[in-house]
Amino acid sequence: MADKITTAAEAVADIKDGSLIAANFWGPGTPLYLWRALAEQGARDLTVCINNYVPRAEELREKGMPDAALLLPQTRKIISPFCSAGRSEVPTALEIVRRIEEGTLEFESLSHGLFIERLHAGAMRLGGFYSPIGIGTHIEQGMEKRVINGKEYIFHEPIMPDVGLVSADKADKLGNLVYHGTARAANPIIAMASRYTVAEVFEIVEPGELDPDIIVTPAAFVDRIVLIPDDDIASRNRRIERLLANIEYRQRRAAEAEAAQGGAQ
Amino acid sequence: MKDRLTDELVAMRVAKELVPGDYCNLGIGLPLLCASYAPEGVMMQSENGVLGYGPLYTSDEIDLIDQDMVDAGMRYFQYVPGMSFFDMLTSFAMIRSSRLISILGGLQVSEKGDLAVHSLSDDERTTRIGGSMDLTWGAKRLIVAMTHNAKDGTPKVIRQLTMPVTAKECVNLIVTDIAVIEVTAGGLVLKEVAPGWTPEEVVAETEAPLAIATDLREMEF
């Protein structure tokens, strides 16, 4: 049996230009290590499907905070329920706006529920589905609608990523995955929906060490396993650094905002 | 300018709508404050995948936190017995199941109970819908907790939304810093006024027509 355990660089080496990449970005459970590897690999014209697209300020980016926009220069389309574009203090947030204006970046908006059910439809290899979410809103513009049992629904296509980058707590050597806390989020669905799934993990154990009853993502969905090195900024050891950097940044921003407001009065 | 209720008092009034055994999702902003005032036995849900999460840690307690235990607003919560973790598919099935009471902030509410809450981004070509369209559609009961007027003083309870619609005819109750308004099939009904406010004064701050409840009373906390 082929060994799934590899380095981040090898795991992302064959990702082609134009690929659809899916990843969970919601604080914990974010594949920081693989994200950076893909930025370094340099595949272009990517479509990025992500639950939260939150560009970070430069200083937090340097300190390894999760930053979806690390791949922005390589991206031609973003599919996301939540995007904090245009925040004036974050250069990459302004860059999103500029790229949309010049026509080199497309943005597709949807809700978190639609995001996960389109991925789930992808996992089930459906042709699409009818959802009631978005009726009467901008979501329905230009979409096919149908009345079923007296209620209106919108047709949505599935999302079937070429590549799923997944963050899990532990893998066994076969690729069975378990998650911890709210780091689970979209990861198990992305693992099932994607044609090629890479999991970054904090720990790899022997088969049998994970209780079969608690395995969330079975090995069949996982093509590659990457162990985050202990000294990397994405490692569990160094998470506290990222947390402290973020707290310090937020407190300073709040103080600056207060000072600015005081000055305006 | 008449005094208006603080966010904390609005949250306290909203929390009185909850009873032990309820499952509840709190939106970002003012609704998050309700967690501190909800009665014991209410299980809070967060859309990233947790039901029954515990009290939040403060920034002085970072030595204690588990960084894999956050709510949708990236706040760290404590372990409590009975809590469960799940993926986003399970989470949104729960959100759409009409089993959760949803408490959201609001930018505008119409006389029919249409809600605008997903703020457009600073740039209008991207959006911050998040889970709001699911939370409005699937709620057992939808309570909007917000200021009665926008920062520039314009009413937020209006005849027709002027901002992007999050969901139509979805709001059940509006709790603001001056009033409690129920959305009924016959229109909006003013049920309660903040201490020091007359119904006429609330009506003057509201663009949508308000019927005044026969049992109108003062808000209690």
Q: Which domain holds residue A241?
A: 5-124+162-264
pLDDT for residue A143? 95
Separation of alpha carbons B36 and B56, rounded Å: 9
Rounded Cα distance between A144 and A112, Å, is 20
- Is B47 labeled as catalytic in the residue annotation? yes
A50 inside domain: yes
Mean pLDDT of B150-166: 95
Task: Give the tens place of pLDDT for each residue, B85-102.
Answer: 999 999 999 999 999 999
Residue A212, in any domain of the structure: yes
Whether residues B85 and A179 touch (CB distance < 8 A) is answered with yes
Is there a contact between A86 and B166 if contact means CB atoms under 8 Å apart? no
Q: In what order do the strands lie in the sheet with A145-148?
A: A129-131, A151-156, A145-148
Q: For each of chain A's 265 residues, which pLDDT tens digit applies?
A: 569 999 999 999 999 999 999 999 998 999 999 999 999 999 999 999 999 998 888 888 888 777 889 999 999 999 999 988 777 788 888 899 899 999 999 999 899 999 999 999 999 999 999 999 999 998 999 999 999 999 999 999 999 999 999 999 999 999 999 999 999 999 999 999 999 999 999 999 999 999 999 999 999 999 999 999 999 989 998 888 888 888 888 888 888 888 887 655 4
B45 touches chain A (CB under 8 A): no
Could you tell me if residue A150 is inside a domain?
A: no
Q: Do A107 and B125 touch (CB under 8 A)?
A: yes
pLDDT digits (tens, 9 = 90+) for B107-145: 999 999 999 998 655 555 677 889 999 999 999 999 999
DSSP state of B56: B
Q: Specify the DSSP class assigned to residue B76.
A: B
Question: B75, exposed or middle or buried, with CB in 10 Å at 0-12, 13-18, 19+?
Answer: middle
Amino acid present at A87: R
In the set B17, B47, B111, B205, the catalytic residue is B47
Mean pLDDT lowest among A111-115, B35-39, B71-75 = B71-75
Single pTM value for the model:
0.94
Q: Give chain A's domain count.
A: 1
Contacts with A190 from chain B: Cβ below 8 Å: none
CATH number assigned to the domain comprising residue A61: 3.40.1080.10
Q: Which residues contact B123 (CB under 8 A, 6 or more apart)?
A: A85, A86, A96, A97, A100
Q: Does A27 touch chain B (CB under 8 A)?
A: yes
* Residue among B62, B95, B168 minimizing CB distance to A243: B62
3-state secondary structure of A46: strand
Is the distance from CB of B168 to CB of B112 less than 8 angstroms?
A: yes
- Residue A125 confidence (pLDDT): 98
Q: Which CATH architecture has domain B7-37+101-218?
A: 3-Layer(aba) Sandwich (3.40)
A106 within a domain of the structure (yes/no)? yes
Tell which residue, B76, B103, B113, B99, has the closest CA to residue B11.
Answer: B103
- Which pLDDT value is given to residue A265? 45
Do A181 and B47 count as a contact with CB atoms less than 8 A apart?
no
